[in-house]
Amino acid sequence: MKRTVLFGLCSMLATILFAWDIGAQAPAKSAPYKNVGPDEFEKLAKQPKHVVLDVRTPKEFTAGHIKGAINIDVNAADFQEKVDKLDKGSTYLVHCASGGRSVTACEKLTTLNFPSLFNLEGGMKSWTKAGKPVEK
């Protein structure tokens, strides 16, 4: 009888702990940056203290870029050195050609404690497809 009671208590305790563990999971962590489309990116670019950061190569930048953008190649050896000089109090609107390198840049900027980042989904391809202006 003692074993049956003990087994029942252990089983009940295990059930309670399992249910408690499921309910006690940490809330999902939000991304350190927000993905936005061309329309929202364009609106954000017009705000003071918002900086358009083009993380493509200088050659890609020269071929056509968003007005007012600054170019810091995410794959360049001096990327961190250059972004260390940026004002962390600004909001950065990050983009590349198609969206992959800008995600990498946002992740790097997050580790460097840049608190306000927006990533252009689809990069310059989505920007030009949406008919947004490009400077050369």
96 is annotated as an active-site residue:
yes
Percent of the chain with pLDDT over 70: 77
pLDDT of 33 higher than 70: yes
- Beta-bridged to residue 92, according to DSSP, are 51, 117
Of 136, 90, 94, 79, residue with least CA distance to 114: 90
pTM of the model: 0.78
| Cα–Cα distance, 100 to 120 (Å, whole number) | 10
Q: Which of 53, 83, 96, 124 is catalytic?
A: 96
Mean pLDDT within 85-114 = 96
Domains of the chain: 34-129 (3.40.250.10)
pLDDT band at 84 (very low <50, low <70, confident <90, very high): very high
- The closest of 136, 133, 91 to 116, measured between CA atoms, is 91
Q: Cα–Cα–Cα angle for 108, 109, 110, nearest 5°?
A: 90
d(CA 28, CA 31): 9
